[in-house]
Amino acid sequence: MNAELIARYAAPVPRYTSYPTAPHFHDGIDEAVYREWLGERPDGPLSLYLHIPFCDRLCFYCGCHTKQVRRYDPIVAYLDALNKEIGLVAGCLPERRKVSAIHFGGGSPTIVSPKDLQRLRGTLDRHFDIAPDTEISVEIDPTHVDAERLQAWRSFGITRASVGVQDFEPIVQTAINRPQSFEETADVVTTLRDLGVASINLDIVYGLPHQDRAMLMRTIEHCLSMAPDRIAMFGYAHVPWIKKHQSRIDAATLAGPSERSRWRLPVLRPFLPRTMCLSVSTILRSRPTAWRRSSPTARFGAISRATPQMMPTH
């Protein structure tokens, strides 16, 4: 791509997680309009998104609607409101609806206690038809979750987990206030597999402070060693005028749009099938069964030895 095209697509746009997206909202959108929108929903299954806007800590790169909490009381109050809203939304629909997908985002959804999670499932079941084949997914920060909470989510019915990685390099993690070891991340992935969660996604962010192509390649190698079903890559959006905590990141340590465009896709090419699909299932199927069943650490070592040219050192 030429410089003009790169600059054009580097401009801020509405977040894809907001629907309708921000430009559709204005002062004239009130309760009556929202009820009308709900009442006009076409027949067929619905997808539900439940937002949990709380975290145990605030990562400096984060662009989500969330806040750090040190007590559980605000979460209890929020969940009371969320349970009520589920009933209000369901009441605005013409009829009881089947749900094909439920997604929990945040924030850190796993901050919800097992007891409150069970209550939330009960509320959903009272107002919607949730079939056994409904896809239920949750975003997970592996540094603030334990086996008990993962078991609670499995009991809730999750079929897919999206585990946040971002970057495994210590210098990057320090800059974004997210210390996270490979070992604790791999332990969460292993526990999810043991619990029967068949679909696991790992999230990577490119364009973070101090990050370069070599660092990103090492993080991808670590992620592949955990045998995920998918790897999702997101570009970091530095908007400190919107998210004040991002001002803790020194803009001088960020790669510019031109540099990011040069190593975003090329860095993936050695790892992906010819279709350039972000799914790594094709790669994993090509590995022996014994390799896929080995530990993440052993797999990482095997990948590193097999592809030394892809593992540059500092």
Q: Could you tell me the mean pLDDT of each successive run of 10 residues in the chain, 314 residues long?
A: 75 62 78 88 89 94 91 97 96 93 94 97 97 95 94 97 96 97 96 96 94 92 93 89 94 87 62 43 44 53 41 28
Q: Report the topology of domain 47-310.
A: Transcription Regulator spoIIAA (3.30.750)
Evaluate whether 60 touches 177 at the Cβ level (below 8 Å): yes
CA distance to 161, 201, 225, 227, 301, per residue, from 294 (Å): 21, 19, 10, 10, 11
pLDDT at 235: 87
Burial class (CB in 10 A: 0-12, 13-18, 19+), 106: buried
Of 260, 252, 251, 239, which Cα lies nearest the Cα of 6? 260
**Cβ count near 204 (within 10 Å):** 21
Rounded Cα distance between 306 and 186, Å, is: 21
Name the residue ranges covered by the structural domains of the chain. 47-310
| CA 180 to each of CA 30, 141, 144, 213, 297: distance values in angstroms, whole numbers, following the listed order | 42, 9, 10, 20, 15
The residue among 105, 66, 10, 26 whose CA lies nearest residue 243 is 66
Give the integer Cα–Cα distance in Å for 220 and 178: 17
111: left (phi over 0), alpha (psi -120 to 50) or beta: alpha
Q: What is the pLDDT of residue 248?
A: 96
Residues 124 and 89: their CA atoms lie apart, in Å, by 11
Q: Which amino acid is at 234?
A: F
Determine the pLDDT at residue 260.
78
Q: What's the pLDDT score for residue 190?
A: 96
Neighbours of 311 (CB within 10 A): 15
Distance of CA 15 to the CA centre of its chain: 14
Are residues 47 and 103 in contact, defined by beta-carbon separation less than 8 angstroms? yes
What amino acid occupies position 152?
Answer: A
Kindly compute the dihedral angle of the four CA atoms of residues 25, 30, 34, 37, in this order, to the nearest 10 degrees.
-70
pLDDT tens sequence across 217-239 = 999 999 999 999 999 888 898 99
Q: Which among 74, 80, 73, 151 has a CA at the least distance from the CA of 110?
A: 151
Task: List the one residue out of 225, 219, 307 whose CA is nearest residue 263.
Answer: 219
Which residues lie below 8 Å from residue 215, measured CB to CB, with a gap of 6+?
A: 167, 169, 172
- Say if CB 142 and CB 181 are below 8 A apart: no
HSE of 282, CA atoms in CB hemisphere, 13 A: 9
